Amino acid sequence: MSDRVELRFSGSGGQGMILAGIIMAEAAAIYDGKNAVQSQSYGPESRGGATRAEVIISTEEIDYPKATSIDAMLAMTQEACNKYHKDIKEGGILLIDADEVRDIPKGNFKVYSFPIIRYAMENLGKAIVANIMALGMITELTGVVSHQAIEKAVLARVPKAFLELNKKALHAGFEKAKELKPVEA
Amino acid sequence: MERKFIQGNEACSEGALYAGCRFYAGYPITPSSEIMEVMSVRLPKVGGVFIQMEDEIASVCAIVGASLGGLKSMTATSGPGFSLMQEGIGFACMAEVPCVIVNVMRSGPSTGYPTGPSQADMMQVRWGTHGDHPMIALTPSTVQEILTETVRAFNLAETYRTPVVLLYDEVIGHMREAITLPKEGELEVVDRARPNCPPEEYRPYDISKGEIPPLAAYGEGYRFHVTGLYHGEDGFPTGNTKLIEEANKRLLSKVEKNREKIWKNEDFYLDDAEIGIFAYGVSARSAKFAVKELRKKGIKVGLLKPLTIWPFPDKAVREMAEKVDTIIVPEMNLGQISLEVERAAGGRCDVRGIYRVDTEPIHPQQIMDAILSREELTLPTELAERDMTDG
């Protein structure tokens, strides 16, 4: 199970974390020809509360569908970051929204920080695409799926009227992540 | 072949439609609602009927009625709704009406934790409705299996004229995996036996030609009476004690006698196993992960995964118990199926449970730790050391 890659997308209910997980898993399973399982955990609220979506990608059969030792995690809120960062493996990646997560957790993992929601709002015109931008960043930081696969998966899932916006958000994610350096501990 | 990345609950709807389900009545409840959502969109397109009912009591009664009208029918719910359905399920057992009820298990009792998974309805499924009654329940653990087991649930319901429960936890229901949609004709689809006699000669519970009498559809000229009371072959209530006893015994025996045909298990590394794991649903996935890891360490552990949990797979458990010295039962409840395993093992080996009820699935590490610590315990020297340090 050495090639098992585990990703966790966490934030608050309504931020599109589960959708981000689904798109990532589809990119791997449908467009990159690997095995993928996506699962989720959320509270009874339809908005708010800590939400997480997990994606396991492997070339082998995936048995346990939940994360055991996380390669990369996204945290869009402080609450989700605090609650869910403990399973990140040594040398793993934590990507946080710079404005939302002020208290950066300590651990043997690399932390990348970027104001994802603010950037989406100011430069893309809509905060709602922050999850797609984050998806681009996680793809760039991990290389777990190809750019083509994630783009196809995003375009297959979003409403027609917003194809360009989402494509722009995804590519902004690729570019911003490329320039990003880990936060000094 | 079409490969699709879909959710367990969506796969359930796909399976139902494939099996020929044309009637759905239900009341939405987390974590089963997606089944209903898909059926509400898809059923009208294939000429089927979808109704959102006022509650789960009405839902189960509606599917019994629709089935008597000749349609394959289903409903889906979770613990609180399943509790409400018990009376209707008993009626379907008694009146011998084929139908499928899906229970996507969430944390209980009562409303519990709606979005949290659980496997704690195992005994309710078997004994939730009162009286000695038959029960067939299936426990898939992958998205693909949800599809195929839903088809099998309909086939068994139609074959044995009895309600069948498809039972899985929230993790399996909400999980997404890539699956292959079966082509038409690829999976077996069974339809109930229909009477071939003229309507005036039809006796709905005439068992002279077999334990499972043909079922006519209302509206096709066959007039017959259906009741939850014990009844004679004409379907009307009876107070005849001999008939009552025979009818009750037949209700059970029509399923129990055919259990070899109803059982379905998956073996994984059991041939040379010294430790066996008995696990279903998401816990079977944790167990499979643990078996693979432990095999790498040279520990002889294997898995028995039941796809039919009721009738209970006594024979497979007994066979496993003859080979291994311990059976471990990980489950997301406080020991419902482990007691059944212990009964079936009949003292041939040790049976231990790993229980978890904090709404998180059993972690493979929990299973590995339990097995590894047991290994230590079997070493006499270490056991002695442990005794000394403890003392």
B112: distance to nearest CA of chain A, Å? 11
Q: Which helix (H) or strand (E) holds B65?
A: helix B56-68
Q: Torsion over CA of A57, A59, A64 and A69, rounded to 10 degrees?
A: -60
Q: Alpha-carbon distance B24 to B239, whole Å?
A: 35
pTM for the whole structure: 0.94
* Residues 6+ away with beta carbon under 8 Å from A81: A10, A75, A94, A96, A101, A103, A105
B3 CA to chain A: closest CA distance, Å?
8
Name which of B34, B29, B30, B31 is nearest B16 in CA terms.
B34
Q: Which residues of A touch B285 (CB under 8 A)?
A: 63-65
Burial A92-108 (b: 16+ CB within 10 A, else e): bbbbbbbebbeebbeee
Beta bridge partners of A94: A73, A111
Nearest to B292 among A1, A37, A43 (CB): A1
Cα gap B248→B263, rounded to integer Å? 22
ipTM tops 0.95 = no
Domain at B364, CATH number: 3.40.50.920
Nearest to B178 among A30, A65, A66 (CB): A30
- Out of B3, B176, B288, name the one closest to residue A37 (CB): B176
Which of B114, B171, B174 is the closest to A44 by Cβ?
Answer: B114
- Map residue B132 onto helix, strand or coil: coil
Domain shared by B108 and B188, yes or no? yes
Q: How many CB pairs under 8 A join A and B?
A: 62
pLDDT of residue A2: 58
Closest residue on chain B to A56 (Cα): B177
Quick check: bond before B311 cis, omega within 30?
A: yes
Q: Do B115 and A42 touch (CB under 8 A)?
A: yes
Which among A29, A65, A68 has CB closest to B175? Answer: A65
Burial profile B181-209: b = 16 or more Cβ within 10 angstroms, e = fewer: bbeeeeeeebebeebeeeeeebbbbbeee
Q: Which of A29, A40, A68 sits opposite B5 (nearest CB)?
A: A29
Domain boundaries, chain A: 5-116+145-157
Decide if A48 touches B, using CB distance below 8 A.
no
Strand-pair partners of B52: B26
User: How many angstroms away from the CA of B208 is the closest CA of chain A?
Assistant: 49
Show the tokens assigned to B274.
């010294």
Same domain (yes/no): B283, B236 = no
Is residue B245 located within the same domain as residue B286? Answer: no
Q: Inter-chain contact B364–A64, Cβ cutoff 8 Å?
A: yes
Same domain, B64 and B184: yes
Domain count, chain B: 2
What is the distance between the alpha carbons of residues B336 and B334, in angstroms, rounded to a whole number? 6
Q: What's the one-letter identity of residue B179?
A: I
Chain A residue with Cα closest to B171: A39
**Bridge-partner residues for A48, per DSSP?**
A13
CB A111 within 8 A of CB A182: yes
Chosen from A6, A32, A41 to mutate, greatest number of chain B CBs within 10 A = A41
The answer to whether residues B313 and B349 belong to one domain is: yes
Cβ-nearest to A38 among B176, B285, B363: B176
Q: Let me know whether B28 and B89 are in one domain.
A: yes
pLDDT reading at A139 higher than 50: yes
Q: Which CATH superfamily is domain A5-116+145-157 in?
A: Pyruvate-ferredoxin oxidoreductase, PFOR, domain III (3.40.920.10)
Judgement on whether residues B252 and B358 belong to the same structural domain of the protein? no
Residue with tokens 């027609």: A160
Contact between A63 and B365 using a beta-carbon 8 Å cutoff = no
Across the interface, of B115, B176, B285, the residue whose CB is closest to A25 is B176
Tell me which of B234, B262, B290 is where a domain ends.
B262
DSSP state of A29: I
Contact check, Cβ <8 Å, B115/A44? yes
Q: According to the model, what pLDDT value does residue B391 have? A: 33
Same domain, B227 and B347: no
- Please indicate, yes or no, whether residues B126 and B216 belong to a single structural domain of this protein: yes
Q: Residue B373: which H helix or E strand, with range? A: helix B364-378
pLDDT of residue B224: 96
Q: Are residues B177 and A36, on separate chains, in Cβ contact within 8 Å?
A: yes
Looking at chain A, which residue has its C-alpha nearest residue B174? A39
B286 contacts A64? CB cut-off 8 A: yes
Q: For chain B, how far is it from start to end, CA to CA, in angstroms?
A: 64
Same domain, residue pair B195 and B344: no
Rg (CA), chain B: 22
- State whether A64 and B5 contact (CB < 8 Å): no
Q: What is the pLDDT of residue A46?
A: 65
- Residues B255 and B278 reside in one and the same domain: no
Phi and psi at B17, nearest 5°, equal -65, -40
Tell me: pLDDT of A48 over 90: no
**Count of residues making up chain B:** 391
In terms of residue numbers, what domain contains B44?
Answer: 1-262
Q: Which of B262, B295, B329 corresponds to the end of one domain? A: B262
List of chain B residues whose C-beta atoms are within 8 Å of the C-beta of residue A68 = 363-365
Per-residue confidence of chain B (391 residues) as pLDDT tens digits?
Answer: 678 999 999 999 999 999 999 999 999 999 999 999 999 999 999 999 999 999 999 999 999 999 999 999 999 999 999 999 999 999 999 999 999 999 999 999 999 999 999 999 999 999 999 999 999 999 999 999 999 999 999 999 999 999 999 999 999 999 999 999 999 999 999 999 999 999 999 999 999 999 999 999 999 999 999 999 999 999 999 999 999 999 999 999 999 999 999 999 999 999 999 999 999 999 999 999 999 999 999 999 999 999 999 999 999 999 999 999 999 999 999 999 999 999 999 999 999 999 999 999 999 999 999 999 875 444 444 434 444 443 3
HSE toward the beta carbon, residue B71, CA cutoff 13 A: 22
- Report the C-alpha gap between B140 and B308 in whole angstroms: 8
Q: What residue in B sits closest to A2 (Cα-Cα)?
A: B293
Buried b (16+ CB within 10 A) or exposed e, A144-170: bbeeebbbbbbbeebeeebeebbbbbb
Alpha-carbon distance of B323 to B270, in angstroms, equals 9
- Distance CA(B169)–CA(B120), nearest Å, equals 9
pLDDT, residue B388, reads: 41
Chain A residue numbers touching B293 (CB-CB < 8 A): 1
Of the residues B242, B262, B282, the one at which a domain ends: B262
Q: Any alpha helices (H) in chain A, and if so which ranges?
A: 17-26, 78-84, 116-123, 130-142, 147-157, 163-179
For residues B252 and B290, membership in a common domain is answered with: no
Residues of B in contact with A36 (CB under 8 A): 5, 177-178
Torsion of CA A106, A107, A109, A115, to 10 degrees: -20
Task: Select from A142, A108, A132 the least CA-distant residue to A5.
Answer: A142
Mutate to test the interface with A, among B176, B289, B358 (most CBs of A within 10 A): B176
Q: Which of residues 107-146 of A touch B (CB under 8 A)?
A: none
What value, to the nearest 5°, has the Cα angle with vertex B165 and ends B127 and B151?
Answer: 160
- Is there a contact between A64 and B3 if contact means CB atoms under 8 Å apart? no
CA distance A73 to A138: 8
